[in-house]
Structures are given as C-alpha cells and as structure tokens.
C-alpha cells in the first residue's frame, strides 16, 4: 500500500499568487499522485502547509515559505523538529541556512523550486499591438520603455528603489515610465510606505511618470508583463526564498533587474535574462547597490535586438525549469523519497552553536521588550544585537557579501541611500531603512564626505575630490560603507 498523506493547513486556490497559490498547487499534486483521503494509518505521513508545531507520532513533511529567515523560527519552532521530518524548500539559500543552523542528523531538506504558469504567462504574439492597446487603456505612450514593479507595499520589497532607478535612467533613456502594482491596504505599515514611495517620486520630479495600479488577476498581469520592457525587483525581503513575480516575468519573456539576494539569484541569469545588483549586509541593514545596473539596463532598453535575445532566453528558462509540469515532477520525486519505507531514528533535532546563540538573542529580546509585532520588526532588531552577529548568521547567505566590502580608495564612491546632516546626527532617509547615527566632531572628515555627496546622490565621485587629509578621508569613507551609506561600483555578485 502506498503512503497516505494527511494534509494539514490551507491549500485553497487564489487568483493573485502568493503562499496560498503555491499551497493550492502542491495540494493538487499530492491529491493526484498520493492517497490523501481516508483514515490515517500508523506509518502514514502528515504534509504540513503552514503548520510547524503539529505533534504526532508519524513522519511529517513541511513546506517552507521563508520561515528560515526569522529568528523566532530558530528560537521556538526548530526545537520541535525531529530528525525523521522532511522540509521542502524553494531555493538554495534555504539549504545553506539549514546547513548553518541544524546539526546532523537533521530533517531531510528537499530543494523543489516553485513554478510559473507558463500557459498563462506567455509572450505576446504581437507585442506592438499589445502595447498600443494597453497604452490606450492606461494612458501610456507605446514609444517609451515601461518599467514594471509588482509587489505588496512592504518596506523590504524596496519599491522606492524602483522609483530612484527610474530617475537614474533619465540620463540614458528619458521619458521612461514606471508602473507599480501592489496592495497597500492589507498589512501593517503598507499605506504609510506607499505614501513614502509617492512622496519620493514627487521629490525626484518623476511623479507624472509613475503610475500606481491595483493588484490584478494572473490573466491581466500576464498581458501587462508581456507588453512591458523591464521588471524592477530590488527586494531584500527576508531571504526572498523564491520570487513568484520574477518567475512569472521570465515566463512572459520580460527581462529583469533584481537584487542579488536569496532566491532571486537562482532565477535571474546575470547578463542573459536580466541583471543582478550586488547586495551586502551593512551595519544598518541590507543594501542593494542598485546604481550598478542602471547603465546595463539602459543599454538593453536601447538595443532592441539584445532585448529580444534576453526576452527569448527568459522564456526558454521558464519553460525548461519553471513550468508546472517540471515543478510537478520535482515535487513527486521528493515526496516519493520522503514516503519511501526506510529505517530511521526519531529524535529531537540539535541546533548548531550559531542557531543557539540566535535563539538566546531572541529570548532575551522578547523578555526585555515583549513579543515582536512582525517578522520585519524582529529582523530590524537583530541588526543591532551583539554587533550584528545574529543578523549576519541568519541573512548572510542571501547577500552578495555577508559583511561590508573593503573600500578601494582608487575607485569612485557614491551614496546609495539619501543622507543629510542634521545637528549632530547623520540622518539616513531611505524609505525602507531610515536611521539616525550620531556624528563625530564637526571637523571629522565624515562630515565633509557627506556634504560632498548630498547633492550628488548615486553619482560617483573620487575621494580625492574632497578636501582634507587623504588617509582620514579614506577611513571615513570606509565607515560610511560599513553603515550602508556609501558604495563603490562593481561589488562582486555571490558566485553561483
């Protein structure tokens, strides 16, 4: 008799994507290939969609949607895992985090990347006609490039960077427009962040070229993706364990600029289907060096033959690696392995020293300040705890570099977040990672560097252009890199 899976959790269908969309697809595969009805047997397994704490004497298979990115997961949930459990993850960064956090023997980790509906998300048969039709409906000129950003208005999705990217493109491709599709009403802080994005567009003078659209069903989104020129996705959200929107853009033949972050790295082939912007963990939070991809993206938009080659490569990648039948084959293979009879020892898992230290930091934090309101608030607090050690242990694999890059004084620097001096503080006004840092003495070279960069946001300049002691200026510039205020062009991507 084949193994019967008891399904635990929500697997209802949705038309807008997200976790429930994936759960429904996984549930459909389970029901198609395995027994999921009837009385539970002693050796049956339980498949848990979003239920990590279900207690049972049977084997359990969990579907991870990014929980590995949360300190509270390693503090409270991981100790309840057992060595005979199995966990399905959707990107390599999740495998790497599991290696760092769990001792052997541990639950089996199965990599099963998610999917894009390659029958719904398809390139347009007549792209010019599609652009004229949608342009007439949306009031857009089909003669200028259309950038597309699709995300809920969560701060770590970095939608505001898409607006800055649009402004930076003006030097190369004037008149480009940006369409932002996102929900601003469901979730704490979304309305406030959406307002910050709108305000940022106004302050940069591009508000007339930024359009805000409501979320739309897949069929409508697919039509818009196939008519657009570039998806902009600089998300630093949690580990970004997959990126469904990026997968759907690939299926639509839409090239992408994205952060070199977590699961996005698995999807975007740099220089073939899009461009990845280096991302490093600064002392103040993740920083994406987005100006690095402005010039190559502009060249792509101006070279229609090269754009067409990227578009074809994106579609080919999606069909070969992300089609629903490919996902189904991978998932069935993993579930068959999970359900196969084998000798096993059921015991509690052991966390590594890094995970134990992280857990105790979470315990300490919650004792002092009470439960965190959100995973985002918890993540932000980890950044400052114990010199950022736990933050880097948890998110290090997601970034291009786990620590700030070492400054090369021969290379230009530029500000990657808006910054100003206010009294005795250095004020970072980035919409996702705002902070105030006490400034040193008035004659400190930090002040001279910041003042020089204030009116040259994202414009490279040489440290030698700033008056003052060269060695002191180099040291100050390194401090600004460490804080995530400055960067240099050409930060290496993480090797794939």
pLDDT of res. 187: 72
Q: What is the pLDDT of residues 45-94, one digit of tens each?
A: 888 887 787 767 778 899 998 899 899 999 999 999 999 899 999 999 99
Decide if 385 is inside a domain.
Answer: no
Asked if residue 201 has a cis previous peptide bond (ω within 30° of 0), the answer is no
pLDDT reading at 42 higher than 50: yes
Mean pLDDT of the chain: 90
Instruction: Report d(CA 178, CA 165) in Å as an integer.
Output: 10
Instruction: Report d(CA 65, CA 63) in Å as an integer.
Output: 7
pLDDT of res. 339: 83
Do 408 and 259 fall within a single domain?
Answer: no
pLDDT reading at 18 higher than 80: no
Do 152 and 241 fall within a single domain?
Answer: yes
Do 101 and 154 fall within a single domain?
Answer: no
Decide if 64 is inside a domain.
Answer: yes
Do 90 and 178 fall within a single domain?
Answer: no
Cβ-based neighbour number of residue 137 at 10 Å: 8
Q: What is the pLDDT of residues 357-401, one digit of tens each?
A: 999 998 888 777 666 567 777 888 888 888 899 999 999 999 999
Do 212 and 288 fall within a single domain?
Answer: yes
pLDDT of res. 21: 86
Q: Give the HSE-up count for residue 285: Cα atoms under 13 Å, Cβ half-sphere.
A: 25
Decide if 361 is inside a domain.
Answer: no
CATH code (residue 146): 3.40.50.2000
pLDDT of res. 39: 46
pLDDT of res. 373: 60
Do 176 and 243 fall within a single domain?
Answer: yes
Our CA dihedral for 67, 69, 71, 74, rounded to 10 degrees, sits at 60
Enter the tokens of residue 97.
Answer: 């985090």
Percent of the chain scoring above 70 in pLDDT: 93
Percent of the chain scoring above 90 in pLDDT: 65
Question: Model confidence at 14, in pLDDT bands (50, 70, 90)?
Answer: low
Mean pLDDT, range 282-301, rounded to an integer: 95
Enter the tokens of residue 429.
Answer: 């006004």
Owner of token pair 């040193």: 440
Mean pLDDT, range 330-347, rounded to an integer: 84
Question: Model confidence at 306, in pLDDT bands (50, 70, 90)?
Answer: very high
Stated pTM of the model: 0.94
pLDDT reading at 324 higher than 70: yes
Decide if 367 is inside a domain.
Answer: no
Mean pLDDT, range 81-109, rounded to an integer: 94
Give, in order, the Cα–Cα distances in Å from 128 to each of 125, 179, 233.
9, 18, 24
Enter the tokens of residue 106.
Answer: 């541990």
Decide if 120 is inside a domain.
Answer: no
Name the maximum alpha-carbon separation found in the chain. Answer: 79
Contact residues for 246 (Cβ-Cβ < 8 A; gap 6+): 231, 233, 256, 258, 264, 267, 268
pLDDT of res. 16: 62
Instruction: Show which of 278, 305, 322 is a domain's final residue.
Output: 322
CATH code (residue 421): 3.90.930.40
Question: Model confidence at 238, in pLDDT bands (50, 70, 90)?
Answer: confident
Enter the tokens of residue 226.
Answer: 């196939």
Do 294 and 336 fall within a single domain?
Answer: no
Mean pLDDT, range 317-343, rounded to an integer: 92
Do 164 and 294 fall within a single domain?
Answer: yes
Q: Which residues pair with 86 in a beta bridge?
A: 61, 108
Do 433 and 343 fall within a single domain?
Answer: no
Do 169 and 247 fall within a single domain?
Answer: yes
Contact residues for 30 (Cβ-Cβ < 8 A; gap 6+): 5, 7, 36, 47, 335
Q: What is the pLDDT of residues 250-273, one digit of tens each?
A: 999 999 999 999 999 999 999 999
Decide if 362 is inside a domain.
Answer: no
pLDDT of res. 189: 84
pLDDT of res. 162: 97
Decide if 193 is inside a domain.
Answer: yes
Instruction: Report d(CA 403, CA 22) in Å as an integer.
Output: 33
Decide if 24 is inside a domain.
Answer: yes
Do 427 and 452 fall within a single domain?
Answer: yes
The residue segments making up the domain with residue 72 are: 5-115+326-350
pLDDT reading at 159 higher than 50: yes
Q: How many domains, the chain?
A: 3
Do 177 and 301 fall within a single domain?
Answer: yes
pLDDT of res. 13: 58
Range from 217-221, 256-260, 352-356, 491-495 carrying the lowest mean pLDDT: 491-495
Question: Model confidence at 150, in pLDDT bands (50, 70, 90)?
Answer: very high
What is the CA angle 142-148-153, rounded to 5? 145
Q: What is the pLDDT of residues 167-200, one digit of tens each?
A: 999 999 999 999 999 988 777 788 999 999 999 9
pLDDT reading at 1 higher than 50: no
pLDDT reading at 304 higher than 80: yes
């Amino acid at each position: 008799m084949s193994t019967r899976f008891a399904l635990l959790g929500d697997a209802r269908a949705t038309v807008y994507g997200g976790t429930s969309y994936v759960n429904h697809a996984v549930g459909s595969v389970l029901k198609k290939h395995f027994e999921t009805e009837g009385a539970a047997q002693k050796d049956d397994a339980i498949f848990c969609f979003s239920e990590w704490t279900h207690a049972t004497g049977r084997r359990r298979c969990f579907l991870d949607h990014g929980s590995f990115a949360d300190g509270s997961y390693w503090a409270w949930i991981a100790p309840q895992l057992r060595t005979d459990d199995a966990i399905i993850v959707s990107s390599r960064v999740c495998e790497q985090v599991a290696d760092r956090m769990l001792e052997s023997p541990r639950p089996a980790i199965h990599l099963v990347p998610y999917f894009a509906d390659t029958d719904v998300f398809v390139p347009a048969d007549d792209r010019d006609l599609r652009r004229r039709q949608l342009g007439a409906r949306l009031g857009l000129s089909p003669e200028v490039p259309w950038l597309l950003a699709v995300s809920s208005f969560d701060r770590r999705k970095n939608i505001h960077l898409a607006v800055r990217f649009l402004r930076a493109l003006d030097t190369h491709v004037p008149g480009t427009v940006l369409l932002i599709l996102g929900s601003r009403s469901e979730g704490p802080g979304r309305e406030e962040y959406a307002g910050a994005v709108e305000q940022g567009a106004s302050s940069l003078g591009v508000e007339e070229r930024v359009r805000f659209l409501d979320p739309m069903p897949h069929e409508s989104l697919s039509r818009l993706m196939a008519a657009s020129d570039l998806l902009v996705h600089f998300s630093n959200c949690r580990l970004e364990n997959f990126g469904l929107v990026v997968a759907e853009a690939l299926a639509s033949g839409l090239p992408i600029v994205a952060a070199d972050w977590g699961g996005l790295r698995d999807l975007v082939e740099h220089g073939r289907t899009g461009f990845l912007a280096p991302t490093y963990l600064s002392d103040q939070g993740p920083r994406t060096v987005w100006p690095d991809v402005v010039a190559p993206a502009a060249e792509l938009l101006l070279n229609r033959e090269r754009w067409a080659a990227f578009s074809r490569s994106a579609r080919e990648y999606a069909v070969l690696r992300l089609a629903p039948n490919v996902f189904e084959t991978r998932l069935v293979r993993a579930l068959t392995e999970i359900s196969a009879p084998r000798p096993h020892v059921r015991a509690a898992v052991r966390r590594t020293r890094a995970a134990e230290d992280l857990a105790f930091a979470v315990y300490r934090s919650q004792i002092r300040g009470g439960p965190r309101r959100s995973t985002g608030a918890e993540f932000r607090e980890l950044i400052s705890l114990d010199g950022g050690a736990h933050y880097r242990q948890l998110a290090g694999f997601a970034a291009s570099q786990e620590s700030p890059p070492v400054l090369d004084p021969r290379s230009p620097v530029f500000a990657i977040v808006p910054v100003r001096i206010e009294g005795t503080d250095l004020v970072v006004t980035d919409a996702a990672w705002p902070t105030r840092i006490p400034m040193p003495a008035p004659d400190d070279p930090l002040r001279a560097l910041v003042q020089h960069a204030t009116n040259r946001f994202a414009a490279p300049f040489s440290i030698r252009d700033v008056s003052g002691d060269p060695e002191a200026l180099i040291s100050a510039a390194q401090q600004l890199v460490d804080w995530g205020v400055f960067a240099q062009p050409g930060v290496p991507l993480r090797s794939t």
